[in-house]
């Protein structure tokens, strides 16, 4: 299914009815176990995805499926509590649909978070990583199909999907907060099965530090329509084959819960400096 510009506009118009004159500056997409920040938004107006024309419900565990508009650290935010994933059956265009709608509502910045497997064996589960770049090989782009020039050009440059100035801001902020932060490349795998040990060895050879099932499509779409992007990964587990133990969703959610304070502290501090 290819969305028309009018459909994006219809979603934005519905949301404008709900939020009145509020205009979000920062879109936030929160990953597995990290959606709680949406509950901390002040003067919140929450809109369920199910009520927004052309939106799809989010079915992944730990994802609430609503947009929360309001203030976080004084910034006007739109928090996506729950994202869509390709493994749920959505096309990449559907996965990143909301980003274009939030762009139409005025958001210029995207903060994106995820939980991912740690490929870099110098690091540990529980570490936080600033995403410096991404690898999304194979399968199609969220921009496949007729280009909508209202959003961006047909062949967008992808040299700096993760905005260098925002990376610098995150490094400075982490240092000030005394939070150790890794920096590296996020490699997208479609899932829902976790990777095999051979896939992880291949990913490492290709330059990946982390592997996960989200983020890359949304970031392509957000950058295409001119948004600045800041991305963080919670390395929730060592990737497949590194430790002699199976991967499980419980481990991912437990790691997210254990890092809650550190992670939200860093994101809040970044918001204050935006
Ligand atoms: N692989 C893919 N996605 C993930 C992982 C992983 O090891 N951990 C959390 N999300």
- Token duo for residue 62: 């730990």
Q: Using CA atoms, how far apart are residues 253 and 237, in angstroms rounded to an integer?
A: 10
Ligand 1 neighbourhood includes 184 CB (under 6 angstroms): no
Residue 62 has pLDDT above 70, yes or no: no
Question: What pLDDT digit, counting tens, does each position of 215-268 carry?
Answer: 999 999 999 999 999 999 999 999 999 998 888 888 888 888 888 888 999 999
Q: Using CA atoms, how far apart are residues 179 and 176, in angstroms rounded to an integer?
A: 8
- The pLDDT of residue 63 is 60
Ligand 1 neighbourhood includes 60 CB (under 6 angstroms): no
Q: What is the CATH number of the domain that holds 97?
A: 3.40.50.1580
Question: What pLDDT digit, counting tens, does each position of 84-124 carry?
Answer: 899 989 999 999 999 999 999 999 999 999 999 999 999 99
Neighbours of 176 (CB within 10 A): 10
**Predicted TM-score (pTM) of this structure:** 0.95
Q: What is the mean pLDDT of the chain?
A: 93
What is the share, in percent, of the chain residues with pLDDT greater than 70?
97
Ligand 1 neighbourhood includes 211 CB (under 6 angstroms): yes
Residue 148 has pLDDT above 90, yes or no: yes
**What mean pLDDT comes out for the span 57-74?**
82
HSE-CB for 160 with a 13 A CA cutoff: 9
Beta strands in 161-200 (DSSP E): 181-188
Ligand 1 neighbourhood includes 236 CB (under 6 angstroms): yes
3-class secondary-structure state, position 253: helix
Q: Select from 85, 114, 235, 247 the residue to mutate for testing ligand 1; criterion: most ligand atoms less than 8 Å from CB.
A: 247
Nearest-CA residue for atom 3 of ligand 1: 212
Residue 82 has pLDDT above 90, yes or no: no
Q: At what angle do helices 260-273 and 249-258 cross, to 10 degrees?
A: 60
For residue 189, what are the domain limits? 5-273
Of 33-37, 41-45, 129-133, the one with minimum mean pLDDT is: 33-37
Residue 148 sits at the vertex; the CA angle it makes with 147 and 153, to the nearest 5 degrees, is 65
Q: Using CA atoms, how far apart are residues 215 and 29, in angstroms rounded to an integer?
A: 9
> 162, 174, 134: which is closest to 227 by C-alpha?
162
* Strand pairing category for 42-48 and 210-212: unpaired
Whether the ω angle into residue 18 lies within 30 degrees of 0, i.e. cis, is no
Question: What pLDDT digit, counting tens, does each position of 167-217 carry?
Answer: 999 999 999 999 999 999 999 999 999 999 999 999 999 999 999 999 999
Q: Select from 30, 31, 114, 116 the residue to mutate for testing ligand 1; criterion: most ligand atoms less than 8 Å from CB.
A: 116
Ligand 1 neighbourhood includes 239 CB (under 6 angstroms): yes
Q: Using CA atoms, how far apart are residues 8 and 47, in angstroms rounded to an integer?
A: 16
Give the number of domains in the chain: 1
């Amino acid at each position: 299914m290819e969305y028309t510009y009018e459909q994006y506009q219809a979603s934005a118009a519905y949301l404008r009815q709900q939020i009145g004159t509020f205009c979000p500056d920062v879109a936030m997409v929160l990953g597995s176990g990290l959606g709680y920040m949406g509950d901390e938004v002040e003067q919140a107006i929450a809109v369920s995805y199910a009520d927004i024309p052309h939106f799809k419900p989010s079915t992944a565990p730990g994802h609430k499926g609503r947009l929360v508009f309001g203030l976080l650290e004084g910034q006007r935010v739109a928090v996506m509590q729950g994202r869509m994933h390709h493994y749920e059956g959505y096309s990449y265009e559907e996965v990143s649909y909301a980003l274009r709608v939030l762009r139409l509502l005025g958001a210029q910045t995207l903060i994106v978070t995820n939980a991912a497997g740690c490929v870099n064996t110098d690091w540990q589960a529980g570490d936080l990583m600033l995403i410096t770049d991404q690898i999304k090989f194979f399968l199609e782009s969220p921009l496949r199909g007729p280009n909508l020039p209202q959003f961006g050009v047909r062949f967008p440059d992808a040299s700096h999907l993760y905005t260098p100035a925002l990376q610098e801001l995150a490094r400075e902020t982490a240092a000030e907060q005394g939070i150790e932060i890794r920096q590296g490349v996020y490699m997208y795998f479609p899932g829902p099965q976790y990777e095999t040990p051979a896939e992880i060895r291949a990913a490492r050879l290709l330059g990946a530090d982390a592997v996960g099932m989200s983020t890359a499509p949304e970031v392509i779409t957000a950058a295409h329509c001119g948004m600045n992007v800041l991305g963080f990964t919670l390395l929730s587990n060592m990737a497949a084959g590194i430790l002699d133990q199976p991967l499980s969703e419980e481990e991912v959610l437990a790691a997210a819960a254990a890092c809650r304070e550190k992670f939200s502290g860093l994101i809040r501090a970044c918001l204050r400096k935006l």
